[in-house]
């Protein structure tokens, strides 16, 4: 599979099998993030891999898993992720670190996908409680959480003109994507 195919096929996964991903794959994901582009090569992001079930049990209630779908904010019982990668940065990293987080998190999820691991990036999180639970120093902020595990669903993409709300139907997650011709402009708006 080439990069374009992976990007078009990879979808966010919110239902996970209960098999724990290999730590080596999680480490490969972070390594791909580590070497990604960084504004002024400042490399402000650090990563915490959580694959211990006791710590996961403390963190999962602090994370919202999606607002549009019926199960709402918490993972469905029996389908919880088996690992998390938490992206943290120094408080004085400046405004550009957010771009680095986006680039790094995309690399994490693509490497996960290549290794048959589903992922879900989440920013609706209780940053302070996560920070306390993981003993993150005061001069760092918790920015993003990526849930990981073997996918227990295969979301489907559907083209749309304007309704972007994802939804479940007969336990299939449908993810609307705006049509290319509706969002692409050439030379001017």
pLDDT band at 69 (very low <50, low <70, confident <90, very high): low
State whether 137 and 93 are in the same domain. Answer: yes
State whether 123 and 161 are in the same domain. Answer: no
pLDDT in tens, 25-66: 999 999 999 999 999 999 999 999 999 999 999 999 999 886
pLDDT band at 70 (very low <50, low <70, confident <90, very high): very low
Range of the domain at 170: 155-189
State whether 102 and 167 are in the same domain. Answer: no
pLDDT band at 166 (very low <50, low <70, confident <90, very high): confident
pLDDT in tens, 15-33: 899 999 999 999 999 999 9
State whether 85 and 17 are in the same domain. Answer: yes
- pLDDT the model gives residue 165: 83
Counting the structural domains of the chain, the total is 2
Which tokens is 150 given? 């073997």
State whether 46 and 131 are in the same domain. Answer: yes
Could you tell me what percent of the chain has a pLDDT over 70? 96
pLDDT in tens, 106-149: 999 999 999 999 999 999 999 999 999 999 999 999 999 999 99
Which tokens is 42 given? 């400042």
User: Which backbone phi and psi does 86 adopt, to 5 degrees?
Assistant: -105, 125
The answer to whether residue 71 scores a pLDDT higher than 60 is no
Q: How far apart are the first and last CA of the chain?
A: 34
CA geometry: angle at 134 spanning 131 and 136, to 5°? 55
Question: What separation in angstroms does the CA of 115 have from each of 18, 42, 153?
Answer: 16, 28, 16
Helices (H), the chain: 3-9, 23-34, 53-59, 97-114, 127-133, 180-183
Query: How far is 11 from 13, CA to CA, in rounded Å?
Result: 6
State whether 149 and 164 are in the same domain. Answer: no
83: helix, strand or coil: strand
State whether 105 and 162 are in the same domain. Answer: no
Question: Mean pLDDT throughout 154-166?
Answer: 85
State whether 128 and 172 are in the same domain. Answer: no
């Amino acid at each position: 599979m080439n990069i374009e195919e992976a990007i078009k096929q990879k979808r966010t996964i919110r239902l996970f099998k209960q098999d724990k991903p290999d730590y080596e794959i999680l480490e490969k994901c972070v390594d791909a993030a580590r070497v990604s582009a960084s504004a002024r090569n400042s490399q402000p992001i650090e990563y915490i891999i959580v694959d211990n079930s006791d710590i996961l049990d403390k963190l999962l209630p602090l994370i919202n898993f999606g607002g549009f779908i019926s199960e709402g904010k918490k993972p469905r019982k029996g389908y919880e992720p088996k690992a998390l990668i938490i992206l943290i940065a120094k408080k004085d990293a400046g405004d550009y670190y957010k771009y680095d987080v986006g680039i790094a998190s995309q690399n994490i999820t693509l490497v996960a996908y290549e290794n048959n691991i589903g992922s879900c990036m989440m920013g609706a999180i209780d940053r302070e409680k996560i920070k306390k639970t993981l003993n993150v120093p005061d001069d760092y902020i918790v920015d993003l959480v990526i849930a990981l595990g073997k996918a227990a669903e295969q979301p489907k993409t559907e083209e749309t003109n304007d309704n972007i709300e994802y939804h479940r139907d007969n336990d299939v997650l449908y993810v609307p994507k705006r049509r290319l011709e509706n969002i692409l402009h050439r030379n001017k708006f």
